[in-house]
């Protein structure tokens, strides 16, 4: 369907892992005839380039100043959330009110809950975009409404139960995201975070980069939680799998190795024989974790591609322990291992028939990319909602093999090597289930539940404008 003339604002949280999926969603809205203005800070402007070139007349952007967070900050994440609101709210209010054809709705990231209040002041609907899944959002809402408490603060294995959520998940204290462990009633940062997240439940609609068949029970739960049915699963929002490597390769930034070189390396490998190893754009392995991963890859004998992230500037501290690839490792695995330092063409790699397994930190973008590609997932969550995502993959979807957890549960290299070995090839029940979910993801986007949800959103926005 097409809805020409409907103008909306898209406001990502300004980090790559949040910007990329909301831009992929924007692409789908543009194909339905909407006009979109993306709000972006200068340093993230290059991420827009491939989308602008595809939709030069209907995709606009407004450059906003980036907040200046002076170190040291006890919690830079919360400080950044507050600074974005303080800096951008008055700018956006004035921009909307002076615009000759103001947008009819705001679609903004779930870390920008304060835009609900901006939308109310402007008299337009606000749609929440969640780059995380419905299970992860269910946990976040529960922990904001009823913050977890540790009756034995010295015990990091103290169990926290969430009985209101389907499957009643129980977490050891060390797996509870940091903001809930350190949050204190009355603390301004914690109170801001809590109100910011709960504003999402009061917003007009929620849009998830997920698909109904993946998390149906949690979508039903969230509809009960917010009291309406304007909760949509529109994912996976990924570049089309049409054989064109250019779009997935350029998605998210400049890659450090040309995509065609990586694809050529994979072409000579048998089907499902390669393990792809990547812990995301933010998680940087410490020395022990890196040594275990490298040793396991070396002794396992498996073919692999390993993406090694560089610590971002804001994450570097003198006390941080950043692991480095052991000396001589690349020479010792030459011929069966490819090491990529920096950004990798992850979607293109996972889609290649030679890749059979994915050792991942379980960030939601990686989870969806792995599911869409139909690979077995070796799960090693590091923080945030990643422990919840790992549970979904292992316990509920049956496509994951747990290998570790953060810094508290680092596997022995021999055990990790064994798991790497059994994850590739045929015969694993996880591989059968992965193929089923991959087919379901494809169907959802090609005329199925996610396609229909996007049509419904576009129609409702057009009707709202009238």
Q: How many CB atoms lie within 10 A of CB 287?
A: 12
Q: What is 253-426's CATH number? A: 3.40.50.2000
* Contact by Cβ (8 Å): 285, 279: yes
- Segment 93-106, tens digit of pLDDT: 999 999 988 999 99
Residue for token pair 């009960």: 224
- Segment 23-73, tens digit of pLDDT: 999 999 999 999 999 999 999 999 998 888 888 889 999 999 998 876 655
Q: Where are the domains of the chain?
A: 7-237+444-465, 253-426
CA angle, corner 339, sides to 335 and 343, nearest 5? 145
Third-level CATH fold of 7-237+444-465: Rossmann fold (3.40.50)
DSSP state of 315: G
DSSP state of 392: I
Annotate 63-119 with DSSP letters as a single string. EEPPP--PSP-S-HHHHHHHHHHHHHHHHHHHHHHH-SS--SEEEEEGGGTTHHHHH
Q: How many Å apart are CA 193 and CA 195, to the nearest integer?
A: 6
- Residue 170: phi, psi to the nearest 5? -125, 130
Residue for token pair 């910007």: 19
- Segment 308-320, tens digit of pLDDT: 976 554 444 444 6
Q: Tell me what pLDDT residue 316 has.
A: 44
Q: Given this chain, do its domains 7-237+444-465 and 253-426 carry the same CATH topology?
A: yes
Average pLDDT for runs of 10 along the chain of length 466: 78 93 95 95 90 88 88 73 94 95 96 97 97 96 92 92 94 92 78 93 98 97 97 94 60 74 95 95 86 97 91 49 89 94 91 97 96 98 95 97 95 97 90 96 96 96 77
* Contact by Cβ (8 Å): 179, 431: no
Q: Which two tokens stand for residue 105?
A: 């709705």
Q: With both helix axes pointing from N to C terminus, report the angle between 413-423 and 287-300 in degrees, rounded to the nearest 10.
A: 50
């Amino acid at each position: 369907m097409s809805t020409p003339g409907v103008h909306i604002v898209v406001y990502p949280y300004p980090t790559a892992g949040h910007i990329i999926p909301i831009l992929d969603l924007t692409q789908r809205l543009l194909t339905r005839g909407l006009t979109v203005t993306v709000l972006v800070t200068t340093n993230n402007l290059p991420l827009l380039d491939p989308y602008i070139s595809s939709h030069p007349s209907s995709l606009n952007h407004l450059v906003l100043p980036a907040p200046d967070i002076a170190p040291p900050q006890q919690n830079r994440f919360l400080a950044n959330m507050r600074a974005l609101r303080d800096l951008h709210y008055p700018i956006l209010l004035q921009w909307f009110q002076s615009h000759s054809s103001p947008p009819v709705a705001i679609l903004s990231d779930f870390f920008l809950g304060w835009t609900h209040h901006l939308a109310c002041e402007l008299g337009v609907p606000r749609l929440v975009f969640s780059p995380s899944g419905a299970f992860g959002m269910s946990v976040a809402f529960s922990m904001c409404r009823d913050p977890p408490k540790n009756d034995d603060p010295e015990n990091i294995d103290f169990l926290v139960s969430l009985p209101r959520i389907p499957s009643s998940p129980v977490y050891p204290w060390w797996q509870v995201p940091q903001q809930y462990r350190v949050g204190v009633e009355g603390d301004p940062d914690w109170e801001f975070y809590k109100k910011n997240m709960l504003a999402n439940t009061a917003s007009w609609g929620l849009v998830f980069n997920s698909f109904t068949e993946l998390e149906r029970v949690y979508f039903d739960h969230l509809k009960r939680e917010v009291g309406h049915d304007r909760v949509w699963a529109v994912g996976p929002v990924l570049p089309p799998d049409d054989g064109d490597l250019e779009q997935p390769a350029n998605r998210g930034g400049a890659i450090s190795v040309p995509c065609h070189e990586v694809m050529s390396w994979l072409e000579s490998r048998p089907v499902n024989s390669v393990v792809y190893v990547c812990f995301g754009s933010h998680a940087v392995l410490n020395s022990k974790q890196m040594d275990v991963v490298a040793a396991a890859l070396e002794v396992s004998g498996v073919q692999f591609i390993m993406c090694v992230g560089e610590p971002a500037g804001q994450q570097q501290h003198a006390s941080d322990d950043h692991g480095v690839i052991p000396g001589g490792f690349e020479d010792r695995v030459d011929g069966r291992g490819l090491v990529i330092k920096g950004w990798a063409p992850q979607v293109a790699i996972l889609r290649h028939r030679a890749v059979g397994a994915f050792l991942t930190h379980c960030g939601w973008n990686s989870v969806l990319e792995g599911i869409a590609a139909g690979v077995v997932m070796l799960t090693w969550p590091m923080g945030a909602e990643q422990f919840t995502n790992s549970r979904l993959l292992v316990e509920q979807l049956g496509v994951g093999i747990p290998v570790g957890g953060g810094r508290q549960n680092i596997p022995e290299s021999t055990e990790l090597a064994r798991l790497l070995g059994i994850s590739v090839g045929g015969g694993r029940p996880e591989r059968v289930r992965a193929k089923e979910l991959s087919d379901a993801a494809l169907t959802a986007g090609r005329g199925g539940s996610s396609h229909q949800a996007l049509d419904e959103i576009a129609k409702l926005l057009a009707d709202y404008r009238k």
